[in-house]
C-alpha cells in the first residue's frame, strides 16, 4: 500500500470529527444506497424506495445545529425530500441547480441532545423513480461548539446486539396451535370464502361478508363436526365490503366507497334496499382505498379508510381524508373524522375501557406495524403529499404497541377482546394477521392516561390467515381468513372459516408486562418453580426506537442491549420484576425469557418473547427489588446460546419466513426451496417479458433490494417490500450468503 | 303453542325459506335482490361511485352516483355481456347510445333565481318491477328528495331506454331542471304524457331516449 492510498484509507475509516463545530455526513457513509448508484463520492439518487440514506451522530453537549446539503439536480422533482433529525422532520423542495453544478443549501435548524446517538436521515420520495438523479455529496451539520459533534461509523452503528439462537416461540415464530385451543375447520371445499366482515346476529347466527360481495348466514346450532357448514347466502352484489356491523337487527356494511345499511323492510328474507348511510369523503379509483370496519358504539358506526397505493410510483397522491378513522351516525349519516394518519388500518375493535382499537400495517411512514387505542384528534403519521390530512401535526401520536415487522406481525387485522371464560387471557386483546398468520396477543395498560403495553406470541397452527372475528355468548370464537394476490391455490387454502374453542388446559407462558419507573414486571400464567426466575441472566433484554420515513419500512433505531440489574420474583411466584439499567421513552423493550424456565407444576415455558412499547415512564412507581434467596443462582450458566453459525439464517427466520418457506410450502411469496443455482421463471414488470433467470447471488441480492425489478412468475408488483430499506448492507450480505449456499440447502 | 301448530310451522318452514335459501353459496342468485347480472355496484368506467343497471336483456344504464345522473347508456354486444369485470371494477362494452358530455347539474328555479343543486346519494331498492335510486338534492338549506326508477323489463317500450323520475315536496312555483333534457337528447314527459322541460309537480315523469 503506498502512502497516498494509506492516507485515503485512514481518512475514509475514521469517523468524521467535528472541527470548528462542523460535521460532514458523506454520501459514502450511509447505511444503504438501495437501487441508486455511486459516481466517485457522489450518490446519484433516482429512487428512494429500498435505500436508507442515514448516519448516526453524537453530541457531547446540547446545542443548536444547522443542517445543509451539497447536491446538484438538473430538473425539479414533483415531490419533496424528507430530512429527519432525531425524529424531527423538515421537508425540502429540491431546487434545480444552475448548469447542474453542485450547490449548498440549508435544510433546517435543530437542537441536538447529548447522550444516545442521534439518527439523521435524508429520505427521497417513496416509490417514484426519476429520470434525472439528484446528485448527493454530503450533509453538513454545523454547530457552534468546537469538537462537540462526531459521527459514528456506519459499520459500528448498524450492528445491533447479537441475537440468541432462536427456536419456536423463543425468537422465532410459533409453529403449533396453542395447547389450550381446539379448532374446527368450517370449510366448504368448493368455495373460496375470503372473509371480509363478521358479526353475530343474535346468539346463534353468524353473519359474514366476503371480499367478492356476498353476505352469508350460518346457523351455529346446525354445525356438525364433519361435513360442510350449512351456509346460506342472504345478500349479494356488495362492493368490496371490508367490514360488517350489527345493531339489534340492523345490518351495516362498509363497502369500497360508502357505508351501507341492508334493509329487509318486508321481512321476506331478502335485503331489497341498500341504503347509503354516508359517502361523505373523497375517493379515487385507487385499488387500495378500502373502508375497514366496523364497530358500533351507541348510534355511531366507526371504521377506517385506508390510503391508496396505486400512485406510489408516480406522485404519491392521496385523495383527501384517506387514512382517517370515521364516525358516522347510523340514522342521519352525519360523518366526523376521529383521527388521521393511518395507512392500511385493516382492523378495528373495542377496547376494554370503551375506546376504539385499530391495527395498522407497516410501510411508508410506518416503520413497524401498530396496535393503537385511538385518541380523538390523534394523527398517526402517514403523510400524503400536500394537501395533507387536516389533523396532520409535526409530532405524531405514538401507537399503543409497536408490532415489529416479521417478528410478531406483518399485516395485522381485526383486534378483539378475549372472552371472559378464556382463563388468564380474558380481557386481553387478540388480533389476526393476513400474512404472518395465527393469533397474536396484547396486554394494554395506562400510564399517565396514555395507553401502552406489550405484545406476545399466542398461536399459529391454523389453516386460515384470519381477518375478521366474531364471538358467541358462550365464548366460542369464529375466525374468517382472507388472502390477496393471484395465486388461487394459496388464496383458497388460507381463506375460509374456523371455529376456535378455549379448552382451559394449563399453559405456562408470559401473560402480561407492566412498566415501572425502574424496570418491567412480567406476569406469568402459572407460578414459577420455586427458586427459579431470580437470575437476571434468565432474561435477554434489548431495546430500540423507530423512525418513520416517507419511504417504505424502516430500520430499528439505536438497537442496543439493556442491562438487567436484578430479577425479583413475587411472593406468589407469578410475577418477576426486572430492574433495567435503562428505559427510554418512545422505545420498544424486547424481553426474551429463557426456555429453561419451568412452572411450579413443572410445565415447560411455551413462549418467551414479549415486546413492550414505552410511551410514558411512570414517575413514581418503582418496582420492588429484593435480594435473591440463597441457592437461586444454581441454574445453568448460560441461558442463551449465541451460535457462531449463520447470521443469515437468523435474518431469514426473522424477516422472510412469513412469506417464503424453505420446504416447498407456498405462502404469500414463492418457496425458496432449492433456490441457489436453480432457474426461476420471472417477469419484467415493464415489458411483461417472461425470462428464465439463474438464481445467482446477484439475482438474490436484487430480489431482496429491488423486488420489483424481476417478478417471480405469478406474483404481482409491490407484493414484496424492498428489504434494502429495512436491512443494513451487512445484513443483506448475510442473507444473500445464506440463500446462495448450495450445500446443505433445504 | 299446541302440537298441531308446531307441526304446521315445521311444514311451512321449507316453503317460507325457499325463495332465499335455495341458492348455492358462491353463485349469483337471481332470487336474491341485487343480482350482479342485473345491477352492478362496482365502479363503472373509472368513475368510483357509480352503478350499472340492466334494462331488458341487453341495455345497460350507468349512473354517476355523486352527480345524481346518468353517465352512459349502452347496448351489450349480441350474445356477450355488456359489462367486463376486472379486479373489482366494471367496464362497459357494446354500442354506446348515450354518454354524458356536459357538466350540468340538477338545478332548482324558485322565484327569480336558478340554483345549482348538489346531490347526495341515499341508496337503491329492488322493487318488483323497478330498480329505485334515491338522492337528496340540496342548496343553501333547501333539500329535495329525488326518486329515479328504472323499469327492469323493456317489454312494450317504444323507446331505446325508459326511466322515471319524481321529486318529493316540490313547492308551488318551483321548477326542477334536469341536467340533460336538452341538448343531450332525452325526452321528458309529465304524468299526462305531455312533453315538458322541467319538473313542476311531484308526480312521476318519464325520461326516454328515442
Query: Starting from the edge strand earliest in sequence, which strands make up the sheet with A273-278, in order?
Result: A243-247, A250-254, A259-263, A273-278, B118-126, B130-139, B142-151, B161-168, B205-209, B187-189
In which band, very low, low, confident or very high, does the pLDDT at A667 lie, cut at 50, 70 and 90?
confident
Cα–Cα dist A509/A502, whole Å: 16
Tell whether A491 is within 8 A of chain B (Cβ): no
A237 touches chain B (CB under 8 A): yes
Confidence of residue A676 (pLDDT cuts 50, 70, 90): confident
The whole-number pLDDT of residue A4 equals 45
CB contact under 8 A, A240 and B40: no
B43 to A256: CB separation less than 8 angstroms, yes or no: yes
Confidence category of residue A637, pLDDT binned at 50, 70, 90: low
Please, where in chain A does CATH 1.10.760.10 lie?
A: 647-739
Give the residue from A533, A548, A539, A552 showing the smallest Cα distance to A707.
Answer: A552
- Number of A:B CB contacts under 8 A? 107
Average pLDDT over all residues of chain A:
91
User: Which of A325-339, A558-572, A676-690, B54-68 bottoms out in mean pLDDT, i.e. has the lowest?
Assistant: A676-690
pLDDT tier at A18 (50, 70, 90 boundaries)?
very low
A236:B36 CB<8 A: yes
Return the beta strands (E) in A7-100 as ranges. Answer: 22-26, 37-39, 42-47, 53-59, 63-73, 81-85, 88-92
* Chain B environment of A231 (Cβ under 8 Å): 25
Q: State the burial class of residue A343 (Cβ atoms within 10 Å of its Cβ: 0-12, 13-18, 19+).
A: buried
Are A93 and A80 spatial neighbours (Cβ–Cβ below 8 Å)?
yes
Tell me: pLDDT of A14 over 50: no
Which residue in A has a C-alpha nearest to residue B127's C-alpha? A272
DSSP 8-state secondary structure symbol assigned to residue A409: B
Q: What is the pLDDT of residue B28?
A: 66
CATH topology for the A12-157 domain: Jelly Rolls (2.60.120)
pLDDT of residue B10: 41
Residues of B in contact with A234 (CB under 8 A): 20, 32
Question: Which one of B16, B65, B122 has the shortest CB-CB distance to A275?
Answer: B122
Q: Which of A192, A257, A273 sits opposite B125 (nearest CB)?
A: A273
- Interface contact A216-B25, CB threshold 8 A: yes
Which part of chain A has CATH 2.60.40.1220? 506-640
Which residues of A fall within a CB distance of 8 Å from B46?
Answer: 285
Determine which helix (DSSP H) or strand (DSSP E) holds A582, and give its type and residue range.
none
- Helices (H) then strands (E): counts for chain A: 6, 48
Which residues have a Cβ under 8 Å from the Cβ of A14 and sit 6 or more positions away? none
Contacts of A257 in chain B (CB under 8 A): 43, 48-49
Q: Is the pLDDT of residue A384 over 70?
A: yes
pLDDT at res. A633: 61
Examine the pLDDT at A722 and tell me if it is beyond 80. no
Pairing mode, if any, of strands B43-44 and B89-92? parallel
- pLDDT at residue A372 above 80? yes
In B, minimum Cα distance to A485 occurs at: B87
Please state which architecture CATH assigns to domain A506-640: Sandwich (2.60)
Task: Considering the domain delimited by A180-502, tell me its CATH architecture.
Answer: 6 Propeller (2.120)
Residue B32 contacts A where some CB pair is shorter than 8 Å: yes
Q: For the residues A435-463, what does the mean pLDDT come to?
A: 97
Task: Give the residue among A742, A739, A722, A733 at the shortest CA–CA distance from A126.
Answer: A722
Res. A589 pLDDT band, cuts 50 70 90: very high
Q: Which of A372-381, A474-483, A527-536, B156-165 has the lowest mean pLDDT?
A: B156-165
* Residue whose C-alpha is closest to residue A506's, from A491, A532, A525: A525
By C-alpha distance, which of A338, A358, A239 is closest to A294?
A358
Where exactly does CATH 2.120.10.30 map onto chain A? Answer: 180-502
Percent of chain A with pLDDT strictly greater than 70: 94
pLDDT at A485: 84
pLDDT computed for residue B181 by the predictor:
64
Residuewise pLDDT in 10s, chain B (210 residues): 344 544 443 444 333 333 333 344 456 688 899 999 999 999 999 999 999 999 999 999 999 999 999 999 999 999 999 999 999 999 999 999 999 887 788 999 998 789 999 999 999 999 999 999 999 999 999 999 999 999 999 876 678 899 999 999 899 999 999 887 655 688 999 999 999 999 999 999 999 988
- For position A15, what pLDDT does the model report? 46
Nearest to A731 by CA among A663, A611, A646, A672: A646
Q: Do residues A149 and A65 make contact, with C-beta atoms less than 8 angstroms apart? A: yes
For A307-361, the pLDDT digits (tens) are 999 998 899 999 999 999 999 999 999 999 999 999 999 999 999 999 999 999 9
Q: 323497478: which residue's cell?
A: B130
A138-196 tens-digit pLDDT? 999 999 999 999 999 876 666 678 889 899 999 999 999 999 999 999 988 888 999 99
The pLDDT, as a whole number, for residue A680 is 87
pLDDT of residue A136 exceeding 90, the answer is yes
Which of the two residues, A689 and A75, has the higher pLDDT score?
A75
Say whether pLDDT at A273 is over 80: yes
CB A724 within 8 A of CB A730: no
For domain A647-739, say whether CATH 1.10.760.10 is its number.
yes
Residue A17's pLDDT band, with cuts at 50, 70 and 90, is very low
Edge-first strand order for the sheet with B50-55 is B39-40, B50-55, B59-64, B69-75, B95-99
Closest CA to A590 of A563, A575, A609: A609
CA–CA min distance A549, chain B (Å): 30
Nearest to A240 by CA among A296, A305, A190, A297: A305
Contacting A residues, span 253-272, partner chain B, CB-CB under 8 Å:
255-258, 260-261, 268-272
Task: Output the pLDDT for position B12.
Answer: 42
Q: Is the pLDDT of residue A603 over 70?
A: yes
Question: Which of the four pLDDT bands, split at 50, 70 and 90, describes residue A443?
Answer: very high
pLDDT tens digits, residue range A69-98? 999 999 999 999 999 999 999 999 999 999
Mean predicted confidence (pLDDT) in A517-533: 97
Q: In this complex, is the C-beta atom of B141 within 8 Å of any C-beta atom belonging to chain A?
A: no
CB B164 within 8 A of CB B204: yes
Q: In the structure, what pLDDT confidence band is assigned to residue A635 with cuts at 50, 70 and 90?
A: low
Nearest to A264 by CA among A254, A253, A275, A255: A275
Residue A730: predicted pLDDT: 77
Could you tell me where in chain A the CATH 2.60.120.260 domains are found? 12-157
Amino acid at each position: 500500500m503506498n502512502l497516498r492510498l494509506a492516507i485515503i484509507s485512514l481518512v475514509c475509516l475514521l469517523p468524521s470529527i467535528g472541527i470548528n463545530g462542523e460535521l460532514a455526513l458523506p454520501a459514502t457513509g450511509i447505511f444503504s444506497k438501495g437501487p441508486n448508484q455511486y459516481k466517485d463520492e457522489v450518490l446519484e439518487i433516482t429512487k428512494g424506495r429500498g435505500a436508507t440514506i442515514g448516519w448516526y451522530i453524537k453530541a457531547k453537549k446540547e446545542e443548536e445545529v444547522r443542517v445543509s446539503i451539497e447536491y446538484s439536480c438538473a430538473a425539479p422533482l414533483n415531490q419533496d425530500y424528507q430530512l429527519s433529525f432525531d425524529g424531527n422532520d423538515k421537508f425540502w423542495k429540491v431546487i434545480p441547480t444552475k448548469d447542474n453544478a453542485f450547490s449548498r443549501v440549508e435544510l433546517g435548524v435543530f437542537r441536538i441532545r447529548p447522550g444516545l446517538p442521534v439518527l439523521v436521515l435524508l429520505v427521497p420520495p417513496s416509490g417514484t423513480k426519476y429520470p434525472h438523479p439528484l446528485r448527493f455529496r454530503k450533509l453538513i451539520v454545523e454547530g457552534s461548539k468546537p469538537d462537540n459533534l462526531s459521527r459514528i461509523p456506519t459499520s459500528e452503528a448498524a450492528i445491533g446486539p447479537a441475537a440468541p439462537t432462536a427456536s419456536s416461540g423463543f425468537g422465532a415464530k410459533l409453529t403449533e396451535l396453542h395447547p389450550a385451543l381446539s379448532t374446527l375447520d368450517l370449510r366448504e371445499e368448493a368455495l373460496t370464502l375470503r372473509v371480509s366482515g363478521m358479526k353475530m346476529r343474535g346468539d346463534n347466527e353468524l353473519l359474514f361478508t366476503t371480499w367478492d360481495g356476498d353476505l352469508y348466514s350460518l346457523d351455529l346450532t346446525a354445525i356438525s363436526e364433519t361435513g360442510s357448514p350449512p351456509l346460506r347466502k342472504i345478500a349479494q352484489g356488495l362492493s368490496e365490503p371490508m367490514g360488517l356491523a350489527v345493531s339489534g337487527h340492523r345490518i351495516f356494511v362498509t363497502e369500497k366507497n360508502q357505508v351501507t345499511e341492508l334493509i329487509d323492510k318486508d321481512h321476506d328474507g331478502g335485503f331489497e334496499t341498500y341504503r347509503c348511510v354516508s359517502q361523505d369523503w373523497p375517493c379515487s379509483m385507487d385499488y387500495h382505498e378500502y373502508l375497514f370496519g366496523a364497530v358500533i358504539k351507541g348510534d355511531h358506526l366507526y371504521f377506517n379508510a385506508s390510503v391508496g397505493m396505486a400512485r406510489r410510483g408516480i406522485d404519491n397522491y392521496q385523495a383527501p381524508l384517506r387514512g382517517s378513522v370515521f364516525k358516522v351516525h347510523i340514522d342521519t349519516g352525519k360523518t366526523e373524522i376521529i383521527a388521521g394518519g393511518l395507512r392500511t388500518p385493516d382492523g378495528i375493535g373495542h377496547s376494554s375501557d370503551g375506546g376504539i382499537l385499530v391495527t395498522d400495517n407497516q410501510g411508508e411512514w410506518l416503520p413497524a406495524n401498530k396496535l393503537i387505542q385511538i385518541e380523538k384528534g390523534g394523527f398517526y403519521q402517514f403523510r400524503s403529499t400536500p394537501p395533507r390530512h387536516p389533523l396532520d401535526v409535526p409530532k405524531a401520536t405514538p401507537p399503543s404497541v409497536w408490532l415489529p415487522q416479521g417478528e410478531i406481525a406483518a399485516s395485522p387485522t381485526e383486534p378483539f377482546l378475549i372472552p371472559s371464560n378464556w382463563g388468564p387471557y380474558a380481557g386481553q386483546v387478540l388480533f389476526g394477521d393476513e400474512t404472518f398468520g395465527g393469533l397474536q396477543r396484547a396486554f394494554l395498560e395506562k400510564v399517565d392516561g396514555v395507553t401502552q403495553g406489550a405484545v406476545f406470541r399466542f398461536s399459529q397452527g391454523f389453516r386460515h390467515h384470519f381477518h375478521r372475528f366474531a364471538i358467541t355468548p358462550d365464548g366460542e370464537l369464529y375466525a374468517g381468513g382472507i388472502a390477496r394476490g393471484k395465486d388461487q391455490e394459496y388464496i383458497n387454502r388460507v381463506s375460509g372459516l374456523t371455529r376456535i374453542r378455549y379448552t382451559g388446559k394449563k399453559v405456562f407462558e408470559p401473560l402480561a408486562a407492566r412498566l415501572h419507573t425502574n424496570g418491567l414486571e412480567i406476569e406469568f400464567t402459572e407460578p414459577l418453580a420455586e427458586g427459579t426466575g431470580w437470575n437476571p441472566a434468565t432474561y435477554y433484554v434489548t431495546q430500540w426506537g423507530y423512525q418513520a420515513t416517507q419511504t417504505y419500512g424502516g430500520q430499528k433505531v439505536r438497537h442496543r442491549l439493556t442491562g438487567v440489574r436484578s430479577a425479583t420474583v413475587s411472593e406468589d411466584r407469578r410475577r418477576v420484576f426486572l430492574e433495567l439499567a435503562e428505559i427510554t421513552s418512545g422505545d420498544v423493550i424486547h424481553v426474551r425469557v429463557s426456555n429453561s424456565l419451568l412452572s411450579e407444576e413443572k410445565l415447560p415455558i411455551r413462549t418467551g418473547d414479549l415486546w413492550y412499547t414505552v410511551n410514558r415512564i411512570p414517575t413514581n412507581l418503582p418496582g420492588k427489588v429484593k435480594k435473591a434467596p440463597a441457592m437461586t443462582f444454581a441454574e445453568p450458566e448460560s441461558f442463551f446460546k449465541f451460535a457462531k453459525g449463520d447470521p443469515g439464517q437468523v435474518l431469514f427466520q426473522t424477516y422472510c419466513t412469513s412469506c417464503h418457506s424453505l420446504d416447498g410450502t407456498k405462502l404469500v411469496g414463492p418457496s425458496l426451496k432449492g433456490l441457489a443455482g436453480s432457474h426461476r421463471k420471472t417477469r419484467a414488470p415493464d415489458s411483461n417479458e417472461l425470462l428464465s433467470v439463474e438464481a445467482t447471488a446477484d439475482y438474490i441480492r436484487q430480489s431482496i433490494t429491488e423486488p420489483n425489478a424481476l417478478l417471480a412468475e405469478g406474483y404481482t408488483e409491490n407484493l414484496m417490500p424492498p428489504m434494502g430499506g429495512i436491512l443494513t448492507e451487512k445484513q443483506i450480505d448475510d442473507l444473500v450468503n445464506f440463500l446462495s449456499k448450495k450445500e446443505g440447502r433445504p | 303453542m299446541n302440537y298441531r301448530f308446531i307441526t304446521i310451522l315445521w311444514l311451512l318452514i321449507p316453503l317460507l325459506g325457499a325463495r332465499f335459501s335455495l341458492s348455492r353459496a358462491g353463485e349469483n342468485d337471481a332470487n336474491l335482490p341485487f343480482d350482479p347480472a342485473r345491477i352492478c355496484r362496482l365502479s363503472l368506467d373509472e368513475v368510483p361511485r357509480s352503478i350499472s343497471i340492466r334494462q331488458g336483456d341487453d341495455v345497460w344504464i350507468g349512473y354517476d352516483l355523486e352527480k345524481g345522473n346518468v353517465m352512459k347508456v349502452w347496448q351489450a354486444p349480441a350474445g356477450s355481456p355488456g359489462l367486463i369485470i376486472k379486479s373489482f371494477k366494471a367496464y362497459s362494452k357494446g354500442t354506446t347510445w348515450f354518454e354524458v358530455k356536459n357538466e350540468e347539474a340538477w338545478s332548482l328555479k324558485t322565484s327569480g333565481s336558478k340554483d345549482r343543486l348538489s346531490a347526495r346519494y341515499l341508496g337503491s331498492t329492488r322493487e318488483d318491477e323497478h330498480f329505485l335510486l334515491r338522492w337528496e338534492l340540496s342548496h343553501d338549506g333547501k333539500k329535495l328528495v329525488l326518486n329515479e326508477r328504472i323499469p327492469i323489463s323493456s317489454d312494450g317500450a317504444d323507446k331505446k331506454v325508459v326511466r322515471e323520475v319524481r321529486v318529493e315536496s316540490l313547492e308551488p312555483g318551483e321548477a326542477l331542471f334536469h341536467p340533460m333534457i336538452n341538448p343531450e337528447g332525452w325526452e321528458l314527459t309529465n304524468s299526462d304524457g305531455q312533453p315538458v322541460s322541467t319538473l313542476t309537480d311531484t308526480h312521476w315523469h318519464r325520461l326516454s331516449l328515442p
